[in-house]
Amino acid sequence: MLTGLSQLPPSVRRTMATGEQPLAWQTVDLAWGESRIGRTEPPKAVHGINLDPLAVVSGDLVDVDSGLFERWLGGISLCGHAGSVADHLGVALERARMGRLAVTTKRLVLFTEGSTTFGTDATGKKTWDTETEEVLSIPRAWVRRARRRSRPFMVGRLVIDFVDDSSAALMCGVVSPIAANRLRDALLT
């Protein structure tokens, strides 16, 4: 049985369709790295070398690709065409600013999470809920595969490939792969 569902707010459970069951619930963010949305050419480290002897003075000896450092350290965070599933997920993650991803039997749902309220119901039973807003819903059928791809300082990095040949890398933890493994296992069931 997958864990992390004890933190699933009742308001999120109410958004699920009849027969839809939650499988995982994790805090996620877009992994740091180079976004290649809309780029079709392969990345290059060096675009050109200036052989002009006066270039030493100006410092323009080598024209280095601006995404080299991001690719080297963080990898590719988003890949695909503009308007792809990964592009929509990246935009939604920027809007959510560290959202929560729910994996259900039918879809992936990204939520923003607001304040938590505690109280009691009419019978005196303790209750709680969290203000949530659904930002993006992706059918599970659109997920081709999910795999954990660690990078330096990103042990919990999860890459999700979609059927439109786009992919998104999510950060689920810096020092532990548990959350990334939980989401990956839920996506593979």
Give the per-residue pLDDT at 74.
Answer: 65
Give the per-residue pLDDT at 1.
Answer: 35
N-term to C-term CA, the chain: 11
* Per-residue tokens: 132: 């949530």
Per-residue pLDDT of the chain (189 residues; tens, 9 = 90+): 334 666 788 888 888 899 999 999 999 999 888 788 887 665 555 545 544 554 555 555 555 555 555 555 667 889 999 999 999 999 999 888 778 899 999 999 999 877 778 888 788 888 777 778 889 999 999 999 999 988 777 889 999 999 999 999 999 988 889 999 999 999 998
CATH architecture of 5-41+73-188: Roll (2.30)
Cβ(105)–Cβ(17) under 8 Å? no
Using DSSP's 3-state secondary structure scheme, residue 99 falls into: strand
Give the per-residue pLDDT at 53.
Answer: 52
| Token pair 């989401």 in the structure block, residue | 183
Give the per-residue pLDDT at 125.
Answer: 84
Give the per-residue pLDDT at 185.
Answer: 94
Kindly report the backbone phi and psi dihedral angles of residue 74, in degrees, each rounded to the nearest multiple of 5, phi listed first.
Answer: -105, -15
Give the per-residue pLDDT at 2.
Answer: 39
Please give the model's pTM, rounded to 2 decimal places. 0.77
Give the per-residue pLDDT at 20.
Answer: 93
Give the per-residue pLDDT at 73.
Answer: 67
Give the per-residue pLDDT at 159.
Answer: 95
- H or E stretch covering 57: helix 55-58
